[in-house]
Amino acid sequence: MKTRGVSIAACLTVTALAVASCSGGAGGEAEEGPVTLEFQSLSDQPAAIEATESIVSAWNEANPDVQVEIVPAGWDGIYDKLITQFNGGAAPDIIHYEAASIVPFAQDGYLADLSEHMSDERRADIPEGVLDSVTVDGQVVAYPTELQSYVVFANRTLLEEAGIEIPTGETMSWDELREIARATTQGDVYGLGWGLASPTAAFMTMAPQFGGTYFEGTGADASLTVGEGEMALPELVDAMAHEDGSILPVTLTQSGSETLASFYAGQVAMTVQGSFQAANIANDAPEGFDWTVLPPLEGPEGAGQAANPQTLSVNIDSEHVEEAAQFIEFFTDTENLAALNEADALIPATTSAQEHMASELGEENGWSTILDSGQHFTSAPYLFVDTYAQWKDTVATPAYQRFLAQEIDAAQLAEQLQSGWDEITM
């Protein structure tokens, strides 16, 4: 008995001491003086962190009554963190995230309607397809800030050795890409390396070029169609990999970043990558590596790519929605957005910032071509589908992987995509 009593007392004492000694942070502060807005930022690159801090400092200096405090967070697990914060009433005022992930929060009523706060100037400056990606039930729920497009990086030396004239037009057709890939596939060199370990995002993004939309309708009422337009790109990749033999097979199982090693080593003449890789290639490529960015890819239905921008949105429970929106308006002005995107090696979501960046950077590291691709963003129907994430992870990605590994044919792929969807939504 005596021992038990001593143990309990010791435990209580230690707990009390731990609680008393470790406590820190957390709300409960009396609200006096200027308004303070919490801005949960996911900026991860040192230059982008610096750019974000610089923009916030400029705002804080110009607006002593509305101070913005950056709360850095990582991308890993941010969805779970946000969902808990929203449900627990502890979400920050301003939220940085991608459109695909904030749409469900908007549909559940956690994000403020910014339609009235967005200036006409800003609205006109955002390409229609990009604005669509942050418009839920007619309400603008976020400001788009940064995007990436898929572009083709080419080893200029290998193309020239194969007698290929580097394409310079406004766009480049998929047939042209296939021809170049065939022509540059010689000896140990493959024409193309494409990191398709997670192929769904790439196929969804570029489906509009073939008239593919995948989804019609929104929310729980959305329906899936897997027709010619949706199957065109997977079938083209399959043909290039297995009929032409012009795609390095191992890259189909790698991530985009992993594929770059083959590109640097001259194992592949071209690689399809997210445009942000331009900065990594400029930094990591071996000395003397002569590379370029080929014109944006274009299919029979145009050069459109589905837009899934990074965004800034406002917590609907924030006591200062208007001030938060004013800050975001400032954050997304031309010079700020250009500086942030230059630091992150991404494409600004406004036309004026794209032009500003193009004039600043010129042809350096293929930037003018990459920024040109920013004019081709279209709306992305999949953003507004309730069960898209589940379908993507449990049905689409495994089915595409099996297809690219030649375990199933095109008809089976289409059937699995459709039946998997039906099963999830039944």
Partner 1 sequence: MRALVRPAQYLGLAAYILFLGFPLLWLISASVKSSGELNSLTVSLLPEQWHWDNYSQALARQGLVRSSVNSAVVALASTALVILVALPASYVLARLKGVVRAAGVGWILVSQVFPVILIILPLFLILRTMGLTDSLAGLTLVHTTYTMPFALWMLQGYVSGIPVDLEEAGAMDGANRLAVLRRIVFPLLAPGVVATAMFSFVSSWNEFFFALVLLQSPENYTLPITLSTFIGGEGKVALGPLAAGSVLAAVPSIVFFSIMQKRLTGGLLAGAVKG
Binding segment (CB under 8 A) for partner 1, from list 81-89, 180-188, 236-244, 379-387: 81-89
Token pair for 184: 């540059």
Binding status of residue 26 toward partner 1 by CB under 8 A: yes
Binding status of residue 30 toward partner 1 by CB under 8 A: no
CA distance 419 to 353: 43
- SS3 state at 131: helix
Binding status of residue 405 toward partner 1 by CB under 8 A: no
Instruction: Single out the residue of 34, 57, 84, 239 in contact with partner 1 (rule: CB under 8 A).
Output: 84
Instruction: Single out the residue of 124, 265, 405, 410 in contact with partner 1 (rule: CB under 8 A).
Output: 265
CA distance 90 to 87: 8
Q: How many whole angstroms from its chain centre is CA 67? A: 29
End-to-end CA distance of the chain: 60
Binding mask 134-153 for partner 1 (x = CB under 8 A): --------------x-----
SS (H, E, C) 358-376: HHHHCCHHHHHHHHHHHHH
Binding segment (CB under 8 A) for partner 1, from list 53-61, 73-81, 104-112, 410-418: 73-81
Phi, psi of 173 (to 5 degrees): -75, 160
CA distance 134 to 350: 13
Binding status of residue 280 toward partner 1 by CB under 8 A: yes
Binding segment (CB under 8 A) for partner 1, from list 72-80, 104-112, 371-379, 385-393: 72-80
CB of 43 to partner 1, least distance (A): 8
Alpha helices in 303-350 (DSSP H): 321-331, 334-344
> What one-character DSSP code corresponds to residue 95?
E
Question: CA angle, corner 347, sides to 342 and 351, nearest 5?
Answer: 110
The sheet carrying 35-41 orders its strands as 66-72, 35-41, 94-98, 310-314, 143-147, 347-348
Question: 301-320: which residues touch partner 1 (CB under 8 A)?
Answer: 310
Binding status of residue 87 toward partner 1 by CB under 8 A: yes
Binding status of residue 276 toward partner 1 by CB under 8 A: yes
Binding status of residue 285 toward partner 1 by CB under 8 A: yes
Which of residues 11 and 124 has its CB atom nearest to partner 1 in the complex?
11
Q: Which residues of 42-59 are buried (b: 16+ CB within 10 A; e: fewer)?
A: bbeeeebbebbeebbeeb
Binding mask 357-396 for partner 1 (x = CB under 8 A): ----------------------------------------
Binding status of residue 257 toward partner 1 by CB under 8 A: yes
CA distance 97 to 285: 30
Question: 203-242: which residues touch partner 1 (CB under 8 A)?
Answer: none
Phi, psi of 46 (to 5 degrees): -50, -45
- Residue (of 231, 207, 177) closest to 307 by Cα position: 207
Binding status of residue 24 toward partner 1 by CB under 8 A: yes
Binding site for partner 1 (CB under 8 A): 2-4, 7, 10-11, 14-15, 18-28, 42, 44-46, 49, 71-77, 80-81, 84-85, 87-90, 98, 148, 255-257, 260-262, 264-265, 267, 274, 276, 280, 283-286, 310, 346
